[in-house]
Amino acid sequence: MRILMMTNTYFPMVGGLEQSVHSFSEEFKKLGHEVLIVTPAFAGAPTEEPGVLRIPAIQKFSGTVFSVNLPVSGLLTRLMKDFQPDIVHSHCPFFMGDFALRLSRQHAIPLAFTYHTMFEQYVHDWPVHNEGVKRFMVKLASGYANLVDQVIVPSESVKSILLKRGVQTPMEVIPTGVDAQRFAKGDGKTFREQNQIPLDALVVGHAGRLSPEKNLEFLTNCLVELLKKDPRVHALIVGLGPSEKMIKETFRLAGLEKRLHLTGVLHYQHLVDAYFAMDVFAFASLSETQGIVLIEAMAAGLPVVALDAPGAREVVEDYHNGRLLKEMDEKSFVTALGWALARTRAELQTIKQIIRMTVQKYPINLVAQHMLGIYEKIRTRKSISLGKKNSSRYLLQWRLKAEWDIYSNYIKSVVTSVFAGNFQSTEPAKIKDLTEQVPKECEKKVICKNEDK
């Protein structure tokens, strides 16, 4: 099978989405399939990337982390002709996601979409960030999900959220798996020596992008309070991002900067060794669709302390493989970290047995095979006759339909975000009229014009 992956972000950016695209792609290749990843050009990207096509883009659009792809229809037309994908898999609901929808419709190829991100939690990256922008992102992403052939969600929690938001496209829960063997062996002792962490210290660790949506201010305050209570405790944080300055300053003001260890982004065995240098993994994010780092940490044998939120609640069992806290309370979180660090050797062995059972639910080879099975189902469900595939009129109709659907989704999202906050609870019908009446009339005109051709 030839699989075309389209994503707004990819390595060298590091996050759950990028890791998911990479992990699935590598596993598909091992199973004998062809994969091409199409993504915007990004500063610092490798010059040679087999299986990756970088397209021209505006770097860090409007001060965000996104690179916005420029119009390159000729390049993508050649791509479709040369690669001839059997499936298009979109990983974002805008920018490259729009391109994916156009290509899917224009070439009569099934389109899958993974809902990786709760986009409304990331509006702090945009020049304007308020409740209206959040509503816009929610409506835009859920509207896009209703335009594809199959939605993939990383957890049951996300599936429930999307159902409440009106997503009607078939959804399948497929988490990103991990290679458990890769995380099974590490050298925590050497890692501690290299990073000036005492061998007898109790280390609370964290890994991920250091940015506000990860709830790092809360986590940092909890770590500071724990370090104040117990002089044996050190904090080890792996990653980069805009919140790094806040973390350093908070520890400095508390006089604890010498017990804070920031490593930057780590890859491969260096990351595994960092996990093995930790005694417990702390995670406070409320914005995840799936906490891949939680599974990685558990694969390294670490108990996890996390807040009860999508992405964490599917992985962490309270008092079994860690602690899962119902409320975002600093005192409770600090107490939970202390509980994990105070376990006896025998208690830790029991916890690690449960952890191993948890990790066994997420083998990358099995979840990749599950994804391939879904691809085959989509292709069967969206079987199109050869005659129609070769019909320029048929494909033009669907290309025009794609353009209209993209345009209509943006208009509906804008109207909802602007007017929803102004209407009283008795006014939802007015919002519906605004977002549906005009698009329907315009769509009739598009179809009539196309039929005239």
pLDDT of residue 129: 58
Q: Where residue 250 falls among pLDDT bands split at 50, 70, 90? A: very high
Q: Where residue 423 falls among pLDDT bands split at 50, 70, 90? A: very low
Q: Which domain holds residue 125?
A: 2-177+365-384
DSSP type of residue 108: T
Residues 333 and 249 in one domain: yes
DSSP type of residue 52: E
Query: Given its phi and psi angles, is residue 88 left (phi above 0), alpha (psi -120 to 50 degrees) or beta?
Result: beta
Residues 229 and 150 in one domain: no
How confident is the model over 77-103, as a mean pLDDT? Answer: 93
Is 450 among the domain residues?
no
Q: How far apart are CA 132 and CA 136, in angstroms?
A: 6
Q: Where residue 124 falls among pLDDT bands split at 50, 70, 90? A: low
Q: pLDDT higher for 62 or 346?
A: 346
**CATH code at position 81:** 3.40.50.2000
How confident is the model over 74-99, as a mean pLDDT? Answer: 91
Residues 293 and 162 in one domain: no
Residues 163-182 have pLDDT tens digits of 999 999 999 999 999 999 99
Residues 354 and 372 in one domain: no
How confident is the model over 379-398, as a mean pLDDT? Answer: 78
Domain final residue pick, 296, 330, 362: 362
Q: Count Cβ atoms below 10 Å from residue 414 Cβ, excluding itself.
A: 16
Is 431 among the domain residues?
no
> How many distinct structural domains can be found in the chain?
2
Residues 17 and 131 in one domain: yes
DSSP type of residue 184: S
Is 195 among the domain residues?
yes
Residues 138 and 241 in one domain: no
Residues 268 and 173 in one domain: no
In the chain, pLDDT over 90 holds for what percent of residues? 72
Residues 265 and 334 in one domain: yes
Domain final residue pick, 330, 362, 394: 362
**Residue 444 CA: distances (Å) to CA of 13, 101, 431:** 43, 21, 21
How confident is the model over 70-85, as a mean pLDDT? Answer: 80
Residues 305 and 321 in one domain: yes
pLDDT of residue 122: 65
pLDDT of residue 132: 85
Residues 172-225 have pLDDT tens digits of 999 999 999 999 999 999 999 999 999 999 999 999 999 999 999 999 999 999
Residues 125 and 211 in one domain: no
Is 167 among the domain residues?
yes
H or E element in which residue 117 lies? none
Residues 255-305 have pLDDT tens digits of 999 999 999 999 999 999 999 999 999 999 999 999 899 999 999 999 999
Q: pLDDT higher for 244 or 70?
A: 244
pLDDT of residue 11: 86
Domain final residue pick, 384, 417, 440: 384
pTM of the model: 0.86
Is 441 among the domain residues?
no
Residues 32 and 160 in one domain: yes
Q: How far apart are CA 251 and CA 142, in angstroms?
A: 40
Is 414 among the domain residues?
no
Is 412 among the domain residues?
no
Q: pLDDT at residue 444 above 80? A: no
- In degrees, to the nearest 5, what angle opens at C-alpha 219 toward C-alphas 214 and 225? 170
Residues 158 and 216 in one domain: no
Query: What does the mean pLDDT of the chain come to?
Result: 88
Is 422 among the domain residues?
no
Runs of H (alpha helix) within 116-177: 131-145, 156-164
Q: pLDDT at residue 249 above 60? A: yes
